Amino acid sequence: MSKYTHRKKCAGCNKYDLRVIVNLGFVPFVGEFPTEDELDRQTRWHLKLMFCDDCKLVQTDSIINPKVAFKNYKYLSSVSLSKHFNEVADILDKKYSVKDKHILEIGCNDGVLLEPLCNLGAIAVGVDPSEKPIEVARQKGLNVHKGYFSYDTHKLFENKYDLVLANNSFAHIIDIHDVVKGVNHILKPNGDFIFEVHYLKSLFIDKQWDNIYHEHIYYYSLTALNNIFKQYDMTIIDYEIIPIHSGSIRVTVRNNKEEIPRKVINKIDLESITICNLQYLNQYARDVKEHISDFNNVFDELQNTHIGKKLLPRVFHKIAGYGASGRASIFCSMTELDNKDIKFVVDESPERCGRYLSGTKIPIVDLEHLENSDTTIILIFAWNYSKMIIDKTKHLNCKYLVAFPKVQLVDSYEELEGFESI
């Protein structure tokens, strides 16, 4: 496989009936985080969001070779998600009594979920392709394997598992059927596959075009998932909408062919007239264009003032970003923001500080740098963490610019409208 390939047919049903929803043009690979020496060697690849009118799977048209995508992957889940995964471990324990249960996690990252499961007595093992997270997980004494889970590699995991987990990783897997086939083989009969993915409805409702990038290959509805799992006599028995990552869905799939619960059927029926409907998707495309325009208008107004027919710069606004994430890279790419507009972006990951936001020349710095600056406006790229960010920085007396689900300039978190922060 080359570094970059174009999708010719649907990954869910193998049909060629793919329709373009949103064309993002040429955007950066968001996981690069270049050094100063690498700034002039940054790459951009084409990206479209596509919809299969047959099996209803939403997917990107471009695929980055995972060996490239995860070569220098620096995201550590424990930096921001420890609380969430401690809660997940408790939920699993209450539901399944995880002590002595055999559990495999696909995409375990730095062991942020494996660790509390092991503390509860589970016999847990993880697999992940990324060097740095696996190294951190091993330092915790966890049983983890570096690599990709697939049908071919499932033989490495000799036990039949009670549970298989995948959190924010199932959307990154190129060959869905290969992985589902592997999960089907390693699960005990009536064992459960439980995973969290960004929910397609959240993408549309909150206009989350900043969450579309090459790493996220699929954007799942319950409808599309059901069409995949039923091919393997596996049944979706439950789901839950959760706030993590600005709106995700936690899905439970039983390794058995059985009657689909009414709750799941009702959700699939509702999706047929909303997020799995082509008219609805076309409206989303129009919403994206309008939303980007709205932001650019507000940002231009902040940076400039009109005197007669002349456009004079406002010298008193110093704008910084917060959250050097994939969202931030896509946002800057689509709005054409760079270091002339955003002086720096703050991030709490030491692995990213000292580097640059992918696709830009905006330096990534720590919180101390922000505190010692003359920043007057903080553009919150990690807007799903707005409350936490504002709480940490409110002593600086800055204003906050938040773009999702609508563009807002506020003085406090209480003034924000329209979304639930985690």
B/e letters for 365-384, b = 16+ CB within 10 Å, e = fewer, are bbeebbeebebbbbbbbbbb
Helix (H) or strand (E) holding 240: strand 235-242
Q: Does pLDDT of 158 surpass 60?
A: yes
What are the residues whose beta carbons fall under 8 Å from the beta carbon of 381, sequence distance 6 or more? 210, 321, 322, 323, 324, 325, 327, 328, 331, 345
Q: pLDDT tens digits for 181-230?
A: 999 999 999 999 999 999 999 988 888 999 999 888 999 999 999 999 99
Tell me the pLDDT band of 306, cut-offs 50, 70 and 90. very low
Mean pLDDT of 52-62: 94
| Closest C-alpha to 219, from 372, 52, 89, 80 | 52
> Residue 312 domain-assigned?
yes
Q: Which structural domain, as residue segments, surrounds residue 378?
A: 295-415
> Residue 23 domain-assigned?
no
**Per-residue confidence (pLDDT) for residue 303, from 0 to 100:** 75
The Cα 310–Cα 135 span in angstroms is 56
The Cα 31–Cα 215 span in angstroms is 8
DSSP state of 16: S
DSSP state of 235: E
**Per-residue confidence (pLDDT) for residue 296, from 0 to 100:** 94
Mean pLDDT of 248-255: 97
Tell me the pLDDT band of 422, cut-offs 50, 70 and 90. very low
> Residue 50 domain-assigned?
no
**Per-residue confidence (pLDDT) for residue 265, from 0 to 100:** 97
Mean pLDDT of 1-22: 85
> Residue 327 domain-assigned?
yes
Tell me the pLDDT band of 73, cut-offs 50, 70 and 90. low
The Cα 361–Cα 356 span in angstroms is 6
**Per-residue confidence (pLDDT) for residue 74, from 0 to 100:** 55
Q: pLDDT tens digits for 26-46?
A: 999 888 899 999 999 888 889
**Per-residue confidence (pLDDT) for residue 177, from 0 to 100:** 95
> Residue 60 domain-assigned?
no
What's the total number of domains in the chain? 1
Domain containing 355 — which CATH number?
Answer: 3.40.50.720
Alpha helical stretches, state H, 187-303: 200-205, 222-229, 262-272, 278-303
Q: Does pLDDT of 315 surpass 50?
A: no
Can you tell me which residue has the tokens 């507009």?
341
Q: Does pLDDT of 311 surpass 80?
A: no
> How high does pLDDT run on average in the chain?
89
Kindly state the tokens that stand for 17: 């009936």
Side-chain-side CA neighbours of 216 within 13 Å: the count stands at 24
Percent of the residues in the chain that have a pLDDT greater than 70, as a whole number: 91
Cα dist from 311 to 134, 296, 301, 307, whole Å? 52, 16, 10, 6
> Residue 154 domain-assigned?
no
Q: Does pLDDT of 68 surpass 90?
A: no
- Residue 404, amino acid: F
**Per-residue confidence (pLDDT) for residue 307, from 0 to 100:** 44
**Per-residue confidence (pLDDT) for residue 93, from 0 to 100:** 97
Side-chain-side CA neighbours of 337 within 13 Å: the count stands at 28
Write down how long the chain is: 422
> Residue 49 domain-assigned?
no
Q: pLDDT tens digits for 345-354?
A: 999 888 899 9
Region of 31 on the Ramachandran plot (φ > 0 left; ψ -120 to 50 alpha; else beta): alpha
> Residue 2 domain-assigned?
no
**Per-residue confidence (pLDDT) for residue 126, from 0 to 100:** 95
The DSSP-derived string for 52-95 is ETTT--EEESEEE-HHHHTTT----THHHHHHHHHHHHHHHHHH
**Per-residue confidence (pLDDT) for residue 8, from 0 to 100:** 84
Is 260 within 8 Å of 269 (Cβ atoms)? no
